[in-house]
């Protein structure tokens, strides 16, 4: 369900999350519903605004019980530092809002208390180093410089699944002990599903980008290209910064004698970024091609 657009980013409610909010409403927990949705919106607005400032293209954010899941438009990962900043913006806002309301002089109010509690939970929970939580974004960005985005994404998403199973199991145990733990089970199930989807999301983003270009090539019979003459020591991400949907990049590699030693396509450059991370150079890619 579409909620609207904030800072050029489309906000959506996950269908199952929407049903959960309707269930809360039917149980007479209208105030809780407004607090949860308002807190999540504040959290995600922080992500969207900082992404806009840093020129990181986020196509949409889907609201979940534990936060939101961002869908990246075209490329991400060229600048891991930016991904870290965008990821941390949400938890910092949630914790800051909770702290501000906590220290404001006011009479005891159950609604304010719940708002503070949920924002503290939202902020700290999202710092857990597992996808699709914000802490997972940070860890993936750090790992990607060493092992590449594909492996980093799979590892951190696996951590998310393990944590989700732990939360679900804990909820099941509390339920068995006749305690009210339905929220743990719901969050665990959502987290496992989202972590599983996150492990595929980045790959699909790259594939959709390339498929659009291949579709344009098939439809028109040609696609404008941009040839870039580079040296082997050039970072792959430096070249991919120049990519656009309207043309295809061909990297012509020359040595110190200005002799052509190879040519790489945009698809090969993307795959290298995926596998080896943003520190990979063209010489690294040429060596793997043998």
Catalytic residues: 44
Residue 129 three-state SS: coil
In the chain the first and final C-alpha atoms are separated, in Å, by 49
Determine how β-strand 248-254 pairs with β-strand 9-13.
unpaired
User: 185 - beta bridge partners?
Assistant: none
Side-by-side strand order, sheet with 260-265: 225-230, 248-254, 260-265
Residue 58: count of CB within 10 angstroms of its CB: 21
Half-sphere CA count of 48, side-chain side, radius 13 A: 23
Residue 107 three-state SS: coil
SS3 content of the chain, % helix, strand, coil (to 5): 65, 15, 20
Q: Please tell me the distance from the alpha carbon of residue 36 to that of residue 83, in angstroms, as a whole number.
A: 25
Residue 283: count of CB within 10 angstroms of its CB: 15
Counting runs of H as helices and runs of E as strands, what totals does the chain give? 10, 7
């Amino acid at each position: 369900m579409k909620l609207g657009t904030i800072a050029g980013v489309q906000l959506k409610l996950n269908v199952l999350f929407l049903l959960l909010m309707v269930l809360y409403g039917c149980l007479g927990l209208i105030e809780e519903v407004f607090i949860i949705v308002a807190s999540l919106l504040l959290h995600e607005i922080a992500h969207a605004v900082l992404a806009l400032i840093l020129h990181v293209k986020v196509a949409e954010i889907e609201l979940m019980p534990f936060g939101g899941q961002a869908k990246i438009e075209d490329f991400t990962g060229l600048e891991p530092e930016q991904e870290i900043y965008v990821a941390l913006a949400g938890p910092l806002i949630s914790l800051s809002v909770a702290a501000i309301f906590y220290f404001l002089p006011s009479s005891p109010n159950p609604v304010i208390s719940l708002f503070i509690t949920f924002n503290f939970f939202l902020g700290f929970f999202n710092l857990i180093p597992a996808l699709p939580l914000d802490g997972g974004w940070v860890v993936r960005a750090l790992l990607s410089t060493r092992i590449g985005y594909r492996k980093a994404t799979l590892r951190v998403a696996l951590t998310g699944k393990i944590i989700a199973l732990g939360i679900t199991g804990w909820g099941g145990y509390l339920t068995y002990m006749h305690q009210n733990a339905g929220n743990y089970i719901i969050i665990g199930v959502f987290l496992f599903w989202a972590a599983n989807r996150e492990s595929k999301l980045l790959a699909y983003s790259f594939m959709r980008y390339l498929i659009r270009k291949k579709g344009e090539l098939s439809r028109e019979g040609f696609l404008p290209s941009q040839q870039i003459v580079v040296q082997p020591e050039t970072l792959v991400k430096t070249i991919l910064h120049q990519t656009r949907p309207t043309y295809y990049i061909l990297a012509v590699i020359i040595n110190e004698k200005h002799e052509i030693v190879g040519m790489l396509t945009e698809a090969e450059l993307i795959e290298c970024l995926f596998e080896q991370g943003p520190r990979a150079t063209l010489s690294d890619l040429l060596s793997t091609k043998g």
